[in-house]
Chain A
Amino acid sequence: MKAMEDLSTHLRERALELRKAKEEGKKIVGYVPGGFVPEELVSAGGAIPVGLNRGGDYDAVLKSSEYVSRFLDTFSRSQIGYWALREDLLYQLIDLVVVPCTDRNIGAIADCWEMWTDTKVFKFGVPHNNKTEHAFKYYLEGLQLLKEEIEKLTGKQITQEQLKREVELSNRIRLLLREISEMRKSEQPPISGKDFIRLNHASFHADRAFMIKSLESLSQELKGKEGSKGPRIFLIGSSIAEGDYKVYDLLEPTEADVVIEEFSEGMRPYWQEVETNGDLIQALADGYFRKRTPLPAFFRPATEERIDFFLKLVKEYKVDGIIWYSMMYRDAYDIEGIYFGRRAEKEGIPFLKIMTDYDTAETGALRTRIEAFIESIKGR
């Protein structure tokens, strides 16, 4: 697919482009992509948003142990490890890092960057409940503070007009991703699970205008295209990092593929858009927090609402089996995975719970389990 190729070329050059932009005085704002930090606010302030989302590399996990205990979740440790390894340019360009302090694992990224780096840290407190007025107010105030922080960083006032333009860009990205995702409802999805998630990952640091063009071209290319037919998998978990494609790669030889996925970090929530009328900060709070779909597992309560949403997706995407993909030590997701497994069993949906610490040594065992799972689906 030409659009994918063009996007890959763009991404290869992107880090150097960002370095050049930085040398020319642009500010780079790193953030943990989990759908709580509105990148449009960063862009509206004249800074460049960059999602810190690398993963799948055990070296980064190991390196993090110089700073934190090994009993934090793998994704969070990686975000500390990539900074410490000093090998990935993206992690070294950051002028300000914005971390949504959602649960203790993601909050640890903020704490570690605060304790061990010279980079300025903005801890963006996210309450664990989006139903109460006081929680909404807290999130809204957090956005105001973030806006002020970005303005201070760039020396530029964020105007309503600029913000509106950026929200529209982000809405366009969300809409296009949703459209492409929904194409996977067809019997023979025109795009593979791995390509779809890579699109998502690309959107966290590609130039936003370029990203939209790529998605539009791709959307056109995919219309009428038919992909392969095989067992249809719903992949669920806490984080899916850029580079963490092990499950996709292990699924490939089995002819199964991911047709829908849900992750709290590493994906862009695309089920809802942000209103572009009225007070836009309020609209961002509404879109990113109050209307967040689905809720992450670390919200309280969240599970029943999440399960209802998942079961709806199972029907819409004609899912044959669910793979629950947990990061080691991500407790809220691990416990919920066990609970959901029981529900899935009651509903007659094949369910497999696996776990990763990004260690290559785990690949063999994962392969066996995934292959056996897919075989059992095929045998139904």
Chain B
Amino acid sequence: MYYDEFLKLCGYEPEEIERERPRIEKTFEKLELTTEDISRGERRVSQYFDVELKGVRKILGLWIKSLIDLVLAREEGKKLVYYSFPPHPHVTIALATASKDIYAAGPEVILDFVMGMIFDKLNPFLEAAEGDLLPPGLANCSLLQARLGGILKGVIPVPDLFVPSSFLCDQAPKLDELLGQIYDVPVVYVDGVEDEMGENWPTSSDRRIKYCAQDPKDVLAKFEEVTGCKMTEEKIREGHVRYINIAMGYNQVHDLIKGLDFMPISQVDLTQAYMLTRVLNTTTAFADTREILDTLYREVRERIDKGEGILQGAPRVMIILPNLSDPTIIKMMESVGLAVVTHIGLTTEPERAPSKYKDYWERAADINMRRGSRYCSLGYAKQIKQVCKEWNLDGAIISFLFSCRAYAIYPLKAKELVMKELGIPALVLESDIYDTRDYSAEAMRTRVETFAEILKTSKAAKAE
């Protein structure tokens, strides 16, 4: 069929395609993916992803499988639970691993990746949302626009339960509240409070931890009530172990990059692996992710051993958040000679201190709320500086998500900390990692190019 080659490029085995063909076709039809779209997807995958690596191909496939499972979940008799971003990982893994009869996901991320990153056909979803509750021009979250657009277009099913993160983000809980009213779906919140002082980062107050530990328990109770699936401690523990295993699978790949002066793999590929482990907490993705990450690890290791890679001796930079719906931005940064080696998604040393809490949900709250973005703006700026320090970077691209209020506050302070305290250049870049209609690679190129030249000169001067 017209899509077979494309799917093979995305790690599907021929027999898998045969077996899955009815589901694939049904999904592609719902997504209105034409032969032209598939051709474009094939071109983009070949051009922007390192499909020579089996690990990369398999990860691409996992995203597509997640979308198929999501789109068909309702008609295949599953209960659906949608969480929002940023996820409370301990909650989402519990939901995603609870039962094969329940599909848990943050659907917008899957749509963003598959319809944006792969097919470059995300805009109809965004536009559908813009005609409804999330109009354009008001810095509404484009990630949530994908969620709303997906539901309005009938591509993703209306869930049985909404579980929005009510910490960090104000828009997701409000949108889900209203969707709950419109579609008569229960909503249960994972709340948090953001009242920490930056000087204390990353230690949270005891009372904040206790508060943040309560809602996850209420979420699980509601989940049981809505789905009829009993959440035992054993089940929660099992999910957690699986999650840690997957996260470690990614970390081993990422750590390979740390001491190198070249890139054996593009940040575009690293990002899709990262998102897979930290963001794509879906029932599908939990099935066999670790094995795929181990494959990727072996392949990258092999390249390093052979000295194969790109951007030899290039300035090493971090980016706050890599793009989730468009690979061309990171590719542009690499093309102007910047090795984008890491991002803010990884845990820094101060955040790794063992938790003193014994209760599972208190420990989870402690770990989750240490993240700079969930802590306070100064904490976040300090976290960014910490990443630069730990990775001994040459520069920082402080690309902030324009449509996220939480990300609107820290950038200039982060720039100041990085430049004054570490003495390295930093570039603040207004961007949108989920929608590049206003923030395309070409629109950013001039500033990034100039920044790259500064870094190259500075690096050369240091070397002399």
Q: Which residues of A contact B (CB under 8 A)?
A: 66-69, 71-73, 101, 103-105, 107-108, 110-112, 114-116, 121, 123-129, 132, 134-135, 137-138, 141-142, 297-298, 300-304, 328-329, 331-332, 334-336, 338-339, 355
**B6: interface (CB < 8 Å):** no
Which of B138, B171, B214, B402 sits near A69, CB closer than 8 Å? Answer: B402
Distance A329 CA – B405 CA, assembled complex (angstroms): 8
Residues of chain A within 8 A (CB-CB) of B133 are 335, 338-339
A–B pairs, 11, beta carbons within 8 Å: A69-B407, A71-B405, A104-B169, A104-B406, A108-B405, A111-B377, A115-B413, A127-B193, A300-B173, A335-B174, A338-B135
**B178: interface (CB < 8 Å):** yes
**B430: interface (CB < 8 Å):** yes
Residues of chain A within 8 A (CB-CB) of B381 are 115
Residues of chain A within 8 A (CB-CB) of B168 are 104
| List of 10 A-B pairs having minimum Cβ-Cβ separation, nearest first | A125-B195, A69-B408, A125-B193, A111-B377, A104-B405, A123-B195, A71-B139, A134-B214, A332-B174, A331-B171
Residues of chain A within 8 A (CB-CB) of B139 are 71, 329, 331
**B170: interface (CB < 8 Å):** yes
**B191: interface (CB < 8 Å):** yes
Which of B210, B214, B400 sits near A132, CB closer than 8 Å? Answer: B214
Smallest CB gap from B213: residue in A: A134
Is B171 in contact with A335, judged by CB distance below 8 angstroms?
yes
**B116: interface (CB < 8 Å):** no
With both chains docked as a complex, state the minimum distance between the C-beta of B213 and any C-beta of chain A, in angstroms.
Answer: 9
Q: CB-defined interface of B206-243 with A at 8 Å, one 1/0 digit per residue?
A: 01101100100010000000000000000000000000
With both chains docked as a complex, state the minimum distance between the C-beta of A323 and any C-beta of chain B, in angstroms.
Answer: 18
Is A114 in contact with B376, judged by CB distance below 8 angstroms?
yes
With both chains docked as a complex, state the minimum distance between the C-beta of B180 and any C-beta of chain A, in angstroms.
Answer: 8
**B378: interface (CB < 8 Å):** yes
Is B197 in contact with A336, judged by CB distance below 8 angstroms?
no
Residues of chain A within 8 A (CB-CB) of B214 are 132, 134
Is B177 in contact with A302, judged by CB distance below 8 angstroms?
yes
Is B409 in contact with A108, judged by CB distance below 8 angstroms?
yes
Which of B170, B403, B408 sits near A68, CB closer than 8 Å? Answer: B408
Residues of chain A within 8 A (CB-CB) of B406 are 104
Residues of chain A within 8 A (CB-CB) of B177 are 300-303
With both chains docked as a complex, state the minimum distance between the C-beta of B386 and any C-beta of chain A, in angstroms.
Answer: 16
* A-B pairs under 8 A by CB, number: 147
Is B400 in contact with A107, judged by CB distance below 8 angstroms?
no
Is B191 in contact with A72, judged by CB distance below 8 angstroms?
no
Distance A138 CA – B141 CA, assembled complex (angstroms): 29
Supposing A103-B170, A108-B377, A298-B170 touch, asked if A336 and B178 sit within 8 A by C-beta, the answer is: yes
Residues of chain B within 8 A (CB-CB) of A328 are 138
Is B166 in contact with A300, judged by CB distance below 8 angstroms?
yes
Q: Which of B389-423 contact A (CB under 8 A)?
A: 400, 402-403, 405-413
Is B134 in contact with A335, judged by CB distance below 8 angstroms?
yes
Distance A68 CA – B407 CA, assembled complex (angstroms): 10
Q: Which of B139-180 contact A (CB under 8 A)?
A: 139-141, 164, 166, 168-171, 173-175, 177-178, 180
> Other CB < 8 Å A-B pairs besides A69-B411, A104-B194, A127-B211, 14 of them?
A68-B408, A69-B409, A71-B139, A107-B194, A111-B378, A132-B214, A132-B218, A138-B193, A142-B195, A303-B178, A331-B138, A331-B141, A338-B135, A339-B133
Which of A68, A104, A331 sits near B412, CB closer than 8 Å? Answer: A68
Distance A332 CA – B176 CA, assembled complex (angstroms): 11
Q: CB-defined interface of B15-45 with A at 8 Å, one 1/0 digit per residue?
A: 0000000000000000000000000000000
Is B378 in contact with A115, judged by CB distance below 8 angstroms?
yes
Distance A68 CA – B408 CA, assembled complex (angstroms): 6
**B196: interface (CB < 8 Å):** yes
**B189: interface (CB < 8 Å):** yes
Supposing A303-B177, A338-B133 touch, asked if A123 and B196 sit within 8 A by C-beta, the answer is: yes
Residues of chain A within 8 A (CB-CB) of B218 are 132
Distance A334 CA – B178 CA, assembled complex (angstroms): 12
With both chains docked as a complex, state the minimum distance between the C-beta of B209 and any C-beta of chain A, in angstroms.
Answer: 11
Smallest CB gap from A302: residue in B: B177
Residues of chain A within 8 A (CB-CB) of B457 are none
Residues of chain B within 8 A (CB-CB) of A67 are 412
Residues of chain B within 8 A (CB-CB) of A334 are 138, 140
**B187: interface (CB < 8 Å):** yes
Is A111 in contact with B171, judged by CB distance below 8 angstroms?
no
